[in-house]
């Protein structure tokens, strides 16, 4: 299979390219890092890149929380306009298979249960609560403490920042393309991806990159809130394998199918920081109590659909993955 990989020179994309080659496929890298003219917003360049292609893995995106709404236009341009241009070119070229780099950020907060009211959906956390160190969302009905759980793909979307909004819009665009063309679209909703080759020293990278960059500078990782926020840290090689599984699965024409892509092992951000610092041999993390308004408290994945329908399973455990990541090289922003 000849596969166009947008963002193929990036963190996840480069691992995906290796996996595709190892499986006997022919990846075609389309990335501004390698060719400044390889912009997904350029219709002519995208059309040329799609020549002879059987499928597309769309990894190219502007990532991270960004700077509130000040860079909203840039996020929308790169993520949503770029996806629209790509899908238009695919429709014209007759390419009918798409795997999209989705994200768990489309959910907003994860799944919560109240002892009295069952599953509930708390709204955005109030600034006053965050300032006072009250980080846990409460039941919107009775105010009691909530128990976090695993979020499934059927949870309503509730993006809480500009980046999350653009990731949800990408899915809607892909679904519209699938309906119009009869194509097959899969969105892999990545949870917190980490591993060798993460970008360093950039505000747009993930929390694992922040901590690893701090350690490389001889500084203690600085953990927001109280460090007890739950995440699902999934290794980049497992994410690349999920893309391969989606590409090789039987196509479902005319619709978009979303799959959570996580390790299935929830850990707190504080646990991750301590594991990484210990493996690196650096200073202990510092819990700061600081917060970002765009952050959510707990979000962990129920990836059973991906396991059951595509036969995928993660193979890199948390401790082994963090030990490798502590020793691995990183790339420039």
DSSP sequence for 223-278 = E-TTS--EEEEEEHHHHHHHHHHHHHSPP-TTEEEEEEE--S-EEEHHHHHHHHHH
Residue tagged active-site, from 107, 163, 190, 291: 163
Query: Is residue 259 among the annotated active site residues?
Result: no
pLDDT score for 333: 57
pLDDT score for 67: 66
pLDDT score for 200: 83
The dihedrals phi and psi of 5, each to the nearest 5 degrees, come to -110, 100
pLDDT score for 294: 77
pLDDT score for 203: 57
Q: Which domains does the chain have, with CATH numbers?
A: 2-110+151-327 (3.40.50.720)
Is the pTM of the predicted complex or chain greater than 0.75?
yes
pLDDT score for 293: 83
Q: How far is CA 280 from CA 38, 233, 274, 321, in A?
A: 36, 18, 10, 12
DSSP characters over 176-228: HHHHHH--EEEEEEE-EEE-TT-B-S-TTS-HHHHHHHHHHTT---EE-TTS-
User: Rounded to an integer, what distance in angstroms lies between the CA atom of residue 41 and that of residue 80?
Assistant: 9
User: Residues with Cβ < 8 Å from 15, sequence gap 6 or more?
Assistant: 195, 197, 236, 237, 239, 240
Helix (H) / strand (E) containing 91: helix 82-93
- Asked if 98 contacts 287 with a C-beta cutoff of 8 angstroms, the reply is no
Q: How many CB atoms lie within 10 A of CB 150?
A: 19
What are the residue ranges in the chain where pLDDT is below 50?
none
């Amino acid at each position: 299979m000849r596969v166009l990989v947008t963002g193929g020179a990036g963190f996840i994309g480069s691992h995906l390219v290796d996996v595709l080659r190892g499986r006997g496929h022919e990846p075609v890298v389309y990335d501004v890092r390698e060719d400044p003219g390889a912009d997904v917003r350029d219709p002519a360049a995208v059309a040329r890149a799609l020549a002879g292609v059987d499928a597309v893995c769309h990894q190219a995106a502007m990532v991270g929380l960004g700077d509130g709404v000040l860079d909203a236009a840039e996020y929308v341009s790169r993520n949503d306009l770029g996806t629209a241009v790509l899908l238009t070119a695919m429709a014209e070229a007759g390419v009918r298979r798409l795997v999209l780099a989705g994200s768990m950020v489309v959910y907003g907060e994860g799944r919560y249960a109240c002892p009295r009211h069952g599953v509930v959906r708390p709204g955005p956390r109030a600034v006053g609560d965050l300032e006072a160190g009250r980080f846990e969302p409460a039941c919107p009905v009775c105010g009691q403490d909530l128990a976090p759980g695993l979020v499934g793909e059927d949870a309503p979307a509730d993006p809480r920042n500009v980046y999350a909004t653009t990731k949800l819009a990408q899915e809607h665009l892909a679904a519209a393309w699938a309906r119009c063309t009869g194509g097959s679209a899969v969105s892999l909703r990545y949870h917190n991806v980490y591993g060798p080759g993460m970008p360093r020293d950039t505000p747009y990278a993930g929390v694992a990159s922040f901590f690893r960059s701090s350690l490389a500078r001889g500084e203690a990782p600085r953990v927001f809130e109280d460090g007890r926020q739950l995440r699902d840290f999934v290794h980049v090689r497992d994410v690349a394998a999920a893309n391969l599984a989606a590409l090789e699965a039987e196509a479902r024409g005319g619709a978009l199918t979303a799959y959570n892509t996580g390790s299935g092992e929830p850990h707190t951000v504080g646990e991750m920081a301590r594991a990484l610092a210990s493996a690196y041999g650096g200073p202990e993390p510092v819990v700061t109590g600081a917060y970002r308004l765009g952050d959510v408290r707990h979000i962990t994945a129920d990836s059973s659909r991906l396991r059951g329908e595509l036969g995928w399973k993660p193979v890199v455990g948390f401790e082994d993955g963090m030990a490798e990541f502590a020793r691995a090289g990183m790339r420039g922003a």
